[in-house]
Structure 1
Amino acid sequence: MMIDSRLKAIYDDNTEPDPEEQEMVAQFAASLGPEGIDALLDGTCTLIYMYMKWLRTMCEEHDKDVIEYVVPTHVATMRMMPKTFSPEVIPTMTGLIIAAGTGLSPNLWRAQYGPWTDAEMTPLEATAVLLAERINRIADDTDFATRLITDALSRSDQNRR
Structure 2
Amino acid sequence: MSSPCDPQHAPAGDVGAALMMVDSRLRAIYDDKPQTDAEQRALTDQFAASLGPGGVDDLVDGACTVIYMFMQWLRMAYEDHGKDVIEYVVPNLVASMRMMPKSIGAEAIPTMAGLLVAAGTGLSPSLWRKQYGYWTEGEMNPLEATAFLLAEHINRLTDDREFATRMIAEALSIADDG
Instruction: Please say whether Structure 1 and Structure 2 have the same fold, judged by a TM-score greater than 0.5.
Output: yes
In structure 2, the residue matched to 1:16 is 36
Residue aligned with 1:157, SS = helix
Residue of 94, 101, 105 corresponding to 2:120: 101
SS at structure 2 position matched to 1:33: coil
Whichever residue aligns with residue 78 of structure 1, its letter is: M
Amino acid at match of 2:71: M
Q: Which amino acid in 1 is paired with 2:36?
A: E
AA aligned to 2:98 is R
Listed one character per residue, the Cα deviations across residues 30-84 of structure 1 (whole Å, up to 9, x for unaligned) are: 1223411110000000000000000001011001000001011111111111111
Work out which of the residue numbers 88, 106, 125 in structure 2 matches 1:69. 88
The 3 A distance-change label for structure 1 pair 52 and 82 is same
Describe the SS at the equivalent of 1:63: coil
Offset, 1:12: 1.7
Which residue pairs with 2:45 in the alignment?
A: 26
CA RMSD in angstroms comes to 1.3
Unpaired runs of 5+ in structure 2?
Answer: 1-19
Letter in 1 for 2:158: A
- Distance in 2 (alpha carbons) for counterparts of 1:88 and 1:74: 15
Distance 2:114 2:91 in 1: 12
- Whole-Å separation in 1 of the counterparts to 2:120 and 2:90: 9
Question: Which 5+ residue runs of structure 1 have no aligned equivalent?
Answer: none
Which of 117, 121, 129 is the matching residue for 2:140? 121
Verify: 1:136 aligned to 2:155, yes or no: yes
Question: Which has a greater percent of helix?
Answer: 1
Q: Take 1:31 and 1:135, find their aligned partners in 2: how far apart are those partners? A: 30
The question of 1:47 aligning with 2:62 is answered: no
- What's the counterpart of residue 91 of structure 1? 110
Q: Deviation of residue 15 (structure 1)?
A: 6.8
Q: Which amino acid aligns with 2:37?
A: P
CA positional deviation for 1:16: 2.5
Q: Which runs of 4+ in 1 moved over 6 A?
A: none
Identity %: 64
Structure 1 length-normalised TM = 0.93
Q: Quote how far apart the aligned CAs of 1:18 are.
A: 6.1
Alpha-carbon distance, 1:96 to partner: 0.3
Q: How many residues of Structure 1 are paired with residues of Structure 2 in the alignment?
A: 158
